Structure 1
Amino acid sequence: MKPFAKKLGAGLTANVVLLGIVSFFTDMSSEIIFPLLPFFLVFNLGASFFIIGIMEGVAEAVASVLKVFSGYWSDRAGKRKPFISSGYGQSAFTKLFFGLATIWQHVFVLRIVERVGKGLRQPPRDALIAESSPPERKGKAFGFQKAMDTGGAILGPLLAIILVSVFASAYQPIFLIAIIPAFVGFIITLFLKEKKKKKVLKAPLKVGLKQLPIRMRVFVAIATIFALGNFSVFFVMLRTVDLGQTVTMALVFYLIMNITYAFSAIPAGSLSDRIGRVPTIVTGYLLFAVVCFIFAFQTGPILIGIAFLVLGLSNGFAIAVQRAYVCDLAPEEIRATALGTYHMSIGFAKLFSGIMVGFLWTFVGVQFAFIYGVILSVMAATMLYGLPRK
């Protein structure tokens, strides 16, 4: 049996497992760097919350534009692997320079450039996961990928906690150490296998929703509304310290979130295979509303810990399952393009979200920033729940 078709575990193929391992090492690297990045920016380099919001919003928007083009190029070429490998490689090389940054403008640019790699790799990677999985196991495959991704995110903050105890607030040496697993993940992508496509996309690129099925257009619109309120975890980390917790304690809470995410992603994906994507995603949206409510009005460490736990559940129920649902709704020959369009819509929403939350926090009040998240999450959940099933 060819490696591509060989099933590993309960319906997981070789490509799905390899991509899971790649995600594990890549996210280990990212999650050493990125939980510390907001503190490095604010405490070491003097960036404001508004600057952080702009940075995160622009970074996600740039990545999203590339997701559309990489998805289209992948569909036209009938290949996934070259885009996946080059995207992971580009991110690995960029991470090297975080350890050399001396002003917040350096980090601003590097954060955007690092997201270029994600934009290049993600739609082809998601398409390869879908194409490597039987229809009844797609939800579980995406859940496995996100669980491995978050498994690396468990080890990453653990290493960050240890490294912070060694280097204190000298974050640059920690960032340099973090590039090692990033390069391991890149090397593993070279072992992916894919079938030659019998049918490839020949139509010109059409950025937008018109080429997509109507049901997918409606879902993308609803998911975009949720993304408008689903702001960067940077703000959650900064809010934790703002409420009187230490950076180390914030990392511990962040670790709780990632552990919860890792253990909920596969069950949530499998649940969506059984009861449907929509009820599972709606649950994730409402859980995020609970998180925002807690951070808006509560201050105690126990409730903060609960909020991070619920945030992990929200990610497990919403993020991976949303991508599986897009793959369900998109025809195979434009699947990567559809995923790219979906990611573009989400990314531009996050551009507005980052700027809006940074503005509200800086100029209006931190509670208003989190209330904004509650309103948008509940709105999206209500609209999606009311969507006809067929």
Structure 2
Amino acid sequence: MRHMNNNIIYLGWVSFFTDFASSMVTTLVPLYVVYILNEGVDKLGIIIAAASFISYFFRILFGYLSDRFTLVKPLVVSGYLISALTKPMLALTQGYIGVAIIRGVERAGKAVRSAPKDALISAYSETNYSGKTFGFHKTMDIAGELGGAICIFLILTWFTLDKDSIRLIFAATLIPGLIASAIALFLVKDIPTSIQAKNEKRKAVINQQDMRLLPLIIIYFTSLFFILSNQFLIIKVKQAGYSFSIIPLFIIILTLSQTLFSYYSGVITDKIGNHKMLLIAFVFGTLSLLALWQEYLWLCFILLGMFTVMSLNAIRAYISQYAISKAFVYGIFYGGIALTSSLGAIIVGQLWKQFGFETVILFSLSGMIILLLVLAVWI
């Protein structure tokens, strides 16, 4: 590809195979926990919370370690290898605690590799083509997610979902995981020495002016507390009467929605501003919950995809444009996501278990409407 370093292409394939395996796992884990292991939705909430917290919170630590000790490729390879080796271990679990531990360790692999991987992509991006580079990488991510969901759909079309079959699928994720790790180890090159030396001279700075960005960032965090994870939605789809074989199609719809609206939401954000785009995203998030309440489930997944990419693009653009100490602000960003999304998952799981789905919807919908009004008044 023109203006595309081979390192970027190799990393794209690493992401493709990793996300292929990850999509297989995230589609099946809710069904496995609730319908195969016969654990409650509250236990699923604990698993989602553990995975979310570890995935985001520890990115701060490993991002710092990568910068401080100029560790890039070793952390990237280690992170992918951790994920590749732990996903298949889900086949050995007998209860929700085992699933939570393994999902936590697997997401730790994500935390280990995320910041160094971004640094590696940036290092090999040509000056005027960084957008194209990251766009290619995101495309490979999405292609992997779609591939994994389609694979599960085809498997469940032909085979019955039971304890043995689902554990065999978990074990099979070792194959794409090891392919990804091998590409990262043998084909991907480390950051050039000249760039490493330049990075060693940088010092972490906390600028007090960045505190003015916190109100909007906190509003975004709070939306993650109220919005429902797609893993909870999978359970709702099953309760609505859809067969196991159809459920992966909802994940495919969600991924396609994110793909179609991600680029255009970024373009519109540049024109109307971050605050207004976040407001529009909150409208779609609220509508997704209304659609869920009325059991328009296909529409719910489409709207959730729109909310996800629009809100994330808006808040990332906000930080990129206005943050002075970007590392400090991104640290708050990842830490906040870890806390709010994990706490929200636990509360939703408990509410669903103790009081039923209607209570969950009222809780989430009320919270999103309040946030929508607050943001509308602010603008």
TM-score normalized by the length of structure 1: 0.83
Residue of 342, 353, 356 corresponding to 2:333? 342
Asked whether the equivalents of residues 210 and 329 of structure 2 are also in contact (C-alpha less than 8 Å), the reply is: no
Question: Shift in Å at residue 239 of structure 1?
Answer: 0.7
Question: Shift in Å at residue 136 of structure 1?
Answer: 8.4
C-alpha distance in 2 between matches for 1:222 and 1:67? 21
C-alpha distance in 1 between matches for 2:118 and 2:314? 12
Deviates more, 1:122-131 or 1:213-222: 122-131
**SS class of match (2:245):** helix
Question: Shift in Å at residue 104 of structure 1?
Answer: 2.6
Deviations for 1:213-263, whole angstroms, at most 9, x for unmatched residues?
Answer: 124333331221111113321110001111222222222122111122223
Instruction: Give the letter aligned to residue 183 of structure 1.
Output: L
Deviates more, 1:272-281 or 1:74-83: 272-281
C-alpha distance in 1 between matches for 2:8 and 2:264? 17
Aligned equivalent of 1:36:
28
TM-score normalized by the length of structure 2: 0.85
- Matched ranges for 1:19-34 at <5 A: 19-34=11-26
Deviates more, 1:182-191 or 1:21-30: 182-191
Aligned equivalent of 1:351:
342
Residue of 332, 357, 363 corresponding to 1:366? 357
**SS class of match (1:246):** coil
Aligned equivalent of 2:300:
307
Question: Shift in Å at residue 135 of structure 1?
Answer: 8.9
Question: Shift in Å at residue 347 of structure 1?
Answer: 0.9
C-alpha distance in 1 between matches for 2:148 and 2:363? 30
Question: Shift in Å at residue 115 of structure 1?
Answer: 1.1
Q: Alpha carbons of 1:103 and 1:359: their partners in 2 closer, same or farther (altered >3 Å)?
A: closer
Residue of 3, 9, 23 corresponding to 1:7? 3
Aligned equivalent of 2:312:
319
Asked whether the equivalents of residues 137 and 273 of structure 1 are also in contact (C-alpha less than 8 Å), the reply is: no
Aligned equivalent of 2:167:
172
Instruction: Give the letter aligned to residue 353 of structure 2.
Output: T
Question: Shift in Å at residue 17 of structure 1?
Answer: 4.7
Aligned equivalent of 2:184:
189
C-alpha distance in 2 between matches for 1:349 and 1:88? 26
Q: Which structure features the higher share of helix residues?
A: 2
C-alpha distance in 1 between matches for 2:230 and 2:292? 12
Aligned equivalent of 2:239:
242
**SS class of match (1:46):** coil
Residue of 55, 60, 63 corresponding to 1:63? 55
**SS class of match (2:94):** coil
Asked whether the equivalents of residues 146 and 265 of structure 1 are also in contact (C-alpha less than 8 Å), the reply is: no
Residue of 253, 262, 279 corresponding to 1:256? 253
Q: Alpha carbons of 1:371 and 1:130: their partners in 2 closer, same or farther (altered >3 Å)?
A: farther
What are the ranges of 5 or more consecutive residues in structure 1 without an aligned counterpart? none
- Matched ranges for 1:191-230 at <5 A: 191-195=188-192, 196-197=195-196, 198-200=198-200, 213-230=210-227
Instruction: Give the letter aligned to residue 367 of structure 1.
Output: E
Asked whether the equivalents of residues 291 and 297 of structure 2 are also in contact (C-alpha less than 8 Å), the reply is: yes
Aligned equivalent of 1:81:
73
C-alpha distance in 1 between matches for 2:263 and 2:224? 22
Q: Alpha carbons of 1:282 and 1:293: their partners in 2 closer, same or farther (altered >3 Å)?
A: same
Question: Shift in Å at residue 387 of structure 1?
Answer: 6.0
What are the ranges of 5 or more consecutive residues in structure 2 without an aligned counterpart? none
Asked whether the equivalents of residues 50 and 100 of structure 2 are also in contact (C-alpha less than 8 Å), the reply is: no
Instruction: Give the letter aligned to residue 121 of structure 1.
Output: R
Deviates more, 1:105-114 or 1:77-86: 77-86
Residue of 153, 162, 170 corresponding to 1:161? 153
C-alpha distance in 1 between matches for 2:239 and 2:82? 34
Deviations for 1:17-59, whole angstroms, at most 9, x for unmatched residues?
Answer: 5444332221111111211111111111111111111221122
Asked whether the equivalents of residues 43 and 349 of structure 2 are also in contact (C-alpha less than 8 Å), the reply is: yes
